[in-house]
Amino acid sequence: MDLKTYTTGIQHIGIPTNDIEKTIAFYQKLGFEIALQTVNEEADEKVAFLKLETLVIETYENKAAKMESGAIDHVAINVKDIEEVYRYIEDNQMNTTNDIIHFLPFWENGVRFFTIEGPNKEKVEFSQYM
C-alpha cells in the first residue's frame, strides 16, 4: 500500500491554549474566521477551528499550554480511509503511541483520528471527516 493514496494534505495544526478567547481574537486579527466552535466533552475542553483560506488551526483550551517556543502540539493529516491508514501504520510498526482510532462529534458528521509520534517527539495525527 502507498500511504499517499489515502492522504490529501494537512487537515489542521493543533495549538493548545490557556485562554481560548484571547487566542481566537488574535487569529481573527490575522484574518482567520471561526469555522467551528464547540466543546470536547470527553476532555472537558473548549475547542475552536479557525480558518484562513486552506489553513486551519485547531485551538483547544486545556490549561496546559507551554507558553514558549515549540507550543504547536500536532499536525493533522487528512485521510480518506482511517482504517486503511491505521493498518498501514500498524503493519510498519509506526504506532509509537499505541493509539487507537477515536471519534469526536466535530463538524457535521464527526471525525475519526489517531496519533503517532515522530522521531523528534512531534505528534502526527491522521484524521478523517465522516
The predicted model scores a pTM of: 0.84
Question: What is the 8-class DSSP label of residue 73?
Answer: -
On average, the pLDDT of the chain sits at 92
pLDDT in tens, 81-122: 999 999 999 999 999 899 999 999 998 999 999 999 987 788
Q: Is the dihedral of CA 76, 63, 30, 41 positive or negative?
A: positive
* Least reliable range by pLDDT among 14-23, 59-68, 83-92: 59-68
> Mapping DSSP to helix (H, G, I), strand (E, B) and coil, where does residue 122 land?
coil
* Least reliable range by pLDDT among 31-45, 55-69, 100-114: 55-69
Task: Please determine, for residue 69, whether its predicted confidence score (pLDDT) is greater than 90.
Answer: no
Question: What is the 8-class DSSP label of residue 115?
Answer: E
Task: Please determine, for residue 73, whether its predicted confidence score (pLDDT) is greater than 90.
Answer: no
The three cell numbers locating residue 103: 471519534
The three cell numbers locating residue 80: 480518506
